[in-house]
Amino acid sequence: MSNEGVPLNALLGRGATYEGDLSFEGRVRVDGLFRGRIFTEELLEVGEEGRIEGDLDAQNLVVAGFVDGRVLVRGRLVVEATGRIQGEVQAARLVVREGAKFDAQVISGE
């Protein structure tokens, strides 16, 4: 999944913290700490410095940082080599790069 050419609609920058619920359109990247629930019909990226603690419901998700919680991906979940997921994961399609870490119950397939 290439994100080139897909405009970035929002960024939670490195060193920033947000707690609560977030619903968005477009592409959003988390490089800081997010605690709560996220919903999107589009793309969520968790950068290498990013950390999410909570529930995610996304069409597509790319994880290069850390996610702890319940994850539902209706499209494609890509866990990069630096990515780590802990909790419960349900994804229609799952790509795990060498080096990624899982401590999760995983259900994959459409």
pTM of the model: 0.91
Whether 19 and 35 have beta carbons less than 8 Å apart is answered as yes
**Cβ contacts of 2 within 8 Å, gap of 6 or more:** none
- Across the range 58-81, mean pLDDT stands at 97
Higher pLDDT residue, 1 or 95? 95
pLDDT band at 1 (very low <50, low <70, confident <90, very high): low
Share of the chain above pLDDT 70, in %: 95
> Residue 70's beta-bridge partner residues?
88
Tens of pLDDT, residues 46-57? 999 999 999 999
Name the amino acid, one letter, at 78: V
- Per domain, the residue ranges of the chain are 8-98
